[in-house]
Amino acid sequence: MAKRSKLKADFRNLVILVLLCIIGFETYLLYKDKKIDFKGVIPSKQIFSKKLDDISTKPVVKKTVKEQKKTVSLPVAPAVTAIKLKPGSSAKIAFVIDDWGYSIKNCHFLKEISSPIAVAILPDLEHSIDVMNCAAENNKEIMLHLPLEPHENSDEYPKDYIINTSMSPTKVDGLLEKILDKMPKVVGVNNHMGSKATEDKDLMHVIFKQLKYRKLFFVDSFVTSGSICRSLAAEMGISFARRDVFLDNKNKHDYIVQQIQLLAKEAEGKGFALAIGHDRELTMQVIKEQIPLLKSQGFEIVTVRELIKLYTQTR
Residue 190 shares a structural domain with residue 250: yes
The answer to whether residue 84 sits within a structural domain is no
- State the total domains in the chain: 2
- Coil vs helix vs strand at 39: coil
pLDDT digits (tens, 9 = 90+) for 257-287: 999 999 999 999 999 999 999 999 999 999 9
The answer to whether residue 54 sits within a structural domain is no
pLDDT digits (tens, 9 = 90+) for 196-245: 999 999 999 999 999 999 999 999 999 999 999 999 999 999 999 999 99
97 has pLDDT over 80 = yes
Whether the CB-CB separation of 247 and 277 falls below 8 Å is answered with: yes
The answer to whether residue 19 sits within a structural domain is yes
Q: Which residue, among 219, 150, 216, has the nearest Cα to 181 in the 3D structure?
A: 216
The answer to whether residue 182 sits within a structural domain is yes
pLDDT at 6: 55
Here the CATH number for the domain that contains residue 205 is 3.20.20.370
163 DSSP 8-state letter: B
CA 107/CA 279 separation, integer angstroms: 9
Residue 91 phi, psi (nearest 5) = -145, 135
Domain that holds residue 19: 2-44
Residue 160 shares a structural domain with residue 288: yes
Residue 31 shares a structural domain with residue 98: no
Burial track 75-112 (b if 16+ CB lie within 10 A, e otherwise): eebeebeeeeeeeeeebbbbbbbbbbbbbbbbbebbee
pLDDT at 268: 95
Q: Is the alpha carbon torsion for 60, 64, 66, 67 positive or negative?
A: positive
Residues in the chain, overall count: 315
Residue 147 shares a structural domain with residue 248: yes
Residue 183 shares a structural domain with residue 286: yes
pLDDT digits (tens, 9 = 90+) for 27-55: 555 444 433 333 333 333 332 233 333 33
Residue 118 shares a structural domain with residue 261: yes
pLDDT at 83: 62
Specify which residues 301 forms β-bridges with. 93
Residue 9 shares a structural domain with residue 151: no
The answer to whether residue 159 sits within a structural domain is yes
Residue 232 shares a structural domain with residue 125: yes
Q: What does the pLDDT average to over 177-189?
A: 98
Residue 221 shares a structural domain with residue 280: yes
The answer to whether residue 71 sits within a structural domain is no
Whether the CB-CB separation of 100 and 277 falls below 8 Å is answered with: no
| CA trace torsion 159, 162, 166, 170 (10° rounding) | 90
Q: What does the pLDDT average to over 97-121?
A: 98
Specify which residues 95 forms β-bridges with. 275
The answer to whether residue 79 sits within a structural domain is no
Residue 228 shares a structural domain with residue 98: yes
pLDDT at 50: 33
Q: Which residues 6+ apart lie within 8 Å of 104 measured at CB?
A: 67, 127, 130, 131, 134
Q: What's this model's pTM, rounded to 2 decimal places?
A: 0.75
pLDDT digits (tens, 9 = 90+) for 63-90: 333 333 333 344 444 444 556 665 546 8
pLDDT digits (tens, 9 = 90+) for 132-166: 999 999 999 999 999 999 999 888 899 999 999 99
Residue 121 shares a structural domain with residue 224: yes
Residue 192 shares a structural domain with residue 261: yes
The answer to whether residue 82 sits within a structural domain is no
